[in-house]
Amino acid sequence: AQRVTQPEKLLSVFKGAPVELKCNYSYSGSPELFWYVQYSRQRLQLLLRHISRESIKGFTADLNKGETSFHLKKPFAQEEDSAMYYCALESGGSYIPTFGRGTSLIVHP
């Protein structure tokens, strides 16, 4: 069975500080990993996916198969980054994601 673990329910940082939201997964095959974000009063939306190897809004995430992790990082947090972040995993070809419980990021001015 596949599982996604986000160990932190809440992460609080100051503006300009680096931020790392942790995501660990368990899956025996080749996973596809995603980060979704939900800003206040907005709908949940895709932030980035590992296959794209892209940086969105300054965020990056690298799939580490050895550590089975897909941590989300940003070198300098901004207040507008405050949101709920969900890590998600799709097993190969399933199109059905398994979500973590989410991490609430608060960036203080």
Partner 1 sequence: DAGVIQSPRHEVTEMGQEVTLRCKPISGHDYLFWYRQTMMRGLELLIYFNNNVPIDDSGMPEDRFSAKMPNASFSTLKIQPSEPRDSAVYFCASSSQGAREETQYFGPGTRLLVL
The residue ranges that bind partner 1 (CB under 8 A) are 34, 36, 43-46, 49, 51, 86, 95-102
Contact 25, 3 (CB under 8 A): yes
Decide whether 26 or 76 has the Cβ nearer to partner 1: 26
Decide whether 66 or 95 has the Cβ nearer to partner 1: 95
CA-to-CA distance for 54 and 13, rounded, in angstroms?
A: 24
Distances (CA, A) of 67 to 16, 35, 42, 89, 101: 28, 17, 32, 15, 19
- Three-state SS at 79: helix
Q: Minimum distance from CB of 43 to partner 1 (Å)?
A: 5
Q: Minimum distance from CB of 95 to partner 1 (Å)?
A: 6
Decide whether 20 or 90 has the Cβ nearer to partner 1: 90
Q: Minimum distance from CB of 65 to partner 1 (Å)?
A: 19
Tokens at 39, concatenated: 């800003």
